[in-house]
Amino acid sequence: MIAKKNLLGIEFLEPSDIYEILDKAKGFTQQDLSGKSVAQTLDGYNIINIFFENSTRTQTSFEIAGKRLGALVTSINVKDSSIKKGETLFDTALTLNAMKPDLIVIRHPYSGAVQLLSEKIDCSVINAGDGKHEHPTQALLDAMTVLRRKNQLSGLTVTICGDIAHSRVARSNIFLFGKLGNSIRLVGPATLVPDCFKEFGVEVFNNMREGLKGADVVMMLRLQKERMDGGYVPSEREYFHFYGLDEEKLSQAKSDAIILHPGPMNRGVEIDSELADDLSRSAIQEQVEMGVSIRMAVIESLIARVIDK
Amino acid sequence: MITFKNVHIIDPESNRESLGSLTIDNGIIEKIDGPIKGESIDCKGACLAPGIVDIGPKICEPGERHKESFRTASAAAAAGGVTCLVTRPDTSPPIDTPEILEFFLTRASNSAKVKILPMVTLSKNLCGKEMSELGFMKDLGAIAFSEGLNYFHDTKYFQKTMQYIKALDLFIIGHPQENSLSEGSVATAGAFASKLGLPSVSTVAEKIGLERDLSLASLTKVKYHADQITTEEAVETLKRYKKTNDRISAGTSIHHISLNELDIGPYRTFFKITPPLRSEKDRLAVINGLKDGTIDIIGSFHTPQDEESKRLPYETAAPGAIGLETILCSALRLTKDKIFNLPTLFKFLSLNPANLIGAPFGRIREGSPADLVLFDPDEPFLIDRFKLKSKSKNTPFDEQTMQGRVLMTYVNGEEVFRRYN
């Protein structure tokens, strides 16, 4: 069981913590998750999901993960809450804390905000994405997917392509795959892949074909529409030409390389539509499936800390 | 009449650091190393230096008295050995009209026990365009013109303002920064900011802003002081301009020479300041800039912020740190590290800033105003932010052990602070 109170980022995990979570998640993937077949180990425990930023898949994934374990899950839609009425983040934390939940899952548009909230909260906190900082459960589910497809989680070449600068998914994955002894490459235009990332022990490529050579895992990131207006890249079509993943560029990678994407995808911008649907190459749907198992594992581990006491 | 005896006199002007005695009378330094006259204070070898002249602190009056008032700022200053505050005008509303300046001066004279000399804004409402009524405010006692920690947006208007000020025989305190680069940023570009995922600005923004300001200052021949030089590139630029222009000078902040970006750690907002903390390389370059005389002044850039404005995600938290009460003890770290001796340190803290504003204090000289700080350079103590005298408690030095403590502070020969242990 991981010893930490919170899951704020991959940066703070040891490789053994990561393997432990993956192991636990593997147990869930082997079970039939439909119906009531999962042991309701968290029956009666309260989980609050609070998302200060719109999210469909992550919020739903956390909700289903909690419910499958039998917990009572309350999802707070920030649009309807007092936060919009001027309550400070600090007071929100105190308010939630006073309701004595057993776990809180938080997403926030600002880097570091989840940590700030966690300092005022007694129960465990899971970071479901904070600004451009970390999204640890995404990196864990990516690792889970890679492990299933490749039967290994070290010694691989992992190429991450796209808007690295603004991506919390990229940061968490750089930490995770780095900690487990893989070689990491970042690919994208210089505006979106600053050179200083080299200091994290990764290679930086502005030429996608070179960055893909011999890759085992190709992780595509979403490019936000507002970044395609000329400030970071000249246009959508120029971006797709140089950095969109298609058959031709993918041929540089190993023949059994797998494609990951944290979603939601911009088909035709960062990834060719047919490639995204090619189940022999693309593990995108499997990532979503692993997401639930990983979140079940993390939720159960963190709450178990308290149960064991 | 008081005579300080058995005291280490630290004088930046004569570069003195030796035992002696000093007599004050009628608000001035009457005699150095003379016979003991009047009340005598045995200083037991403590150091007596000219009081610190701080260029650029913010007192939050008018507008934000809940963050800091003249009374609390002046108490903090006195406890920190600061005897003169040359205050920033970026209050709300800013000090941009003679009427607001009058209010400011009245409040200052009623509530402050240290000297308060106001900067006023260059432009109306800090718009970075049309000039404030600079002449009127000069006549009322404005000592310098500045946009505070804001950038003067319009280069053309800035040039005209400089020409106008040159004729008034006053000077500009600029905040060098290329705004289109630094806007929205809260950290210095590099691996650290990338890891935290914070919007960041390259250090060249300061250099580009400084180039603009110094080019215009050289063109208009106005006296120009850059408030904070915090990057290696800017030190080099400044050095180049100083070779041909003796009307320019520059300061840096105590926080930029004491701390670097890694101190921010896990999004600690008390370390969020303007400009953002820099790399260790920049910190050392700035210290070298002080060493070789490129940078002239160390200031606190005291910026009070209440708990609410700091208890926010890093990107949205208010910038600034208080520093009046900690400037001396944090600066003394540089003498402990043998980077400067005490007279040199007080050149940056007292003499150079006093010379910048043309004031007679800031030195230990017979006939000069008796603005003095008596301190024990070795006494260790732990900073407890809640015990600081500022109304706001946003110090980055909380719970740090410091060495060097102010014992007494005098302004015009009047005791304004005494530590009772």
For the question of an ipTM over 0.90, the answer is no
Residue B265 in contact with partner chain A when CB distance is under 8 A: no
Cα B262 from chain centre = 23
Domain ranges of chain B: 51-362
Q: Determine, yes or no, domain membership for A4.
A: no
Are A45 and A166 part of one and the same domain? no
**Average pLDDT of span B45-74:** 97
Residue B180 in contact with partner chain A when CB distance is under 8 A: no
Are A264 and A167 part of one and the same domain? yes
Helix locations, chain A, DSSP H:
15-29, 57-68, 89-98, 113-118, 136-150, 168-179, 208-212, 236-243, 247-250, 273-277, 284-308
CATH number at residue A111: 3.40.50.1370
pLDDT at B153: 87
Q: What is the pLDDT of residues B74-123, one digit of tens each?
A: 999 999 999 999 999 999 999 999 999 999 999 999 999 999 999 999 99
pLDDT at A279: 87
Q: Determine, yes or no, domain membership for A2.
A: no
Q: Determine, yes or no, domain membership for A5.
A: no
Helix locations, B50-154, DSSP H:
70-80, 98-111, 134-140
Q: What is the number of CB-based contacts under 8 A between chain A and chain B?
A: 63
Is A199 close to B311, i.e. CB distance below 8 A? no
Both tokens of A118, joined, read: 């966690």
pLDDT at B144: 96
Residue B18 in contact with partner chain A when CB distance is under 8 A: no
**Other C-beta atoms lying within 10 Å of the C-beta of residue A261:** 24
Which residues of chain A from 84 to 103 reach within 8 Å of chain B, CB to CB?
A: 88-90
Inter-helix orientation angle A284-308/A57-68, to 10°:
50
Asked if A14 and A20 touch (Cβ cutoff 8 Å), the reply is no
Closest-CA distance of chain B to residue A111, Å: 6
Nearest CA among B189, B174, B191, B193 for reference residue B231: B189
| High-pLDDT (> 70) share of chain B, % | 100
| High-pLDDT (> 90) share of chain B, % | 98
CA dihedral angle for residue A286, residue A289, residue A294, residue A299, rounded to 10 degrees: 170
Closest-CA distance of chain A to residue B304, Å: 20
Q: What is the pLDDT of residues B330-373, one digit of tens each?
A: 999 999 999 999 999 999 999 999 999 999 999 999 999 999 99
Are A104 and A191 part of one and the same domain? no
Are A121 and A185 part of one and the same domain? no
Residue A145 in contact with partner chain B when CB distance is under 8 A: no
Measure CB to CB from residue A196 to each of B190, B196, B267 and give the nearest one.
Answer: B190
Are A68 and A46 part of one and the same domain? yes
pLDDT at A88: 75
Asked if B114 and B77 touch (Cβ cutoff 8 Å), the reply is yes
Total count of domains within chain A: 2
Are A107 and A20 part of one and the same domain? yes
**Average pLDDT of span B313-329:** 97
Burial class (CB in 10 A: 0-12, 13-18, 19+), A78: middle
Q: Determine, yes or no, domain membership for A188.
A: yes
Are A166 and A267 part of one and the same domain? yes
Q: For chain A, which ranges sit under pLDDT 70?
A: 1-3, 32-38, 79-86, 228-230, 306-309
Q: Can you give the pTM of this predicted structure?
A: 0.92
Asked if B325 and B388 touch (Cβ cutoff 8 Å), the reply is yes
Are A187 and A94 part of one and the same domain? no
Residue B184 in contact with partner chain A when CB distance is under 8 A: no
Are A35 and A164 part of one and the same domain? no
Dihedral sign, Cα of residue B267, residue B270, residue B272, residue B278 = negative
Are A69 and A170 part of one and the same domain? no
Where in the sequence is the domain holding A33, given as residue range(s)? 10-135+288-308
In the CATH hierarchy, which top-level class contains the domain B51-362? Answer: alpha beta
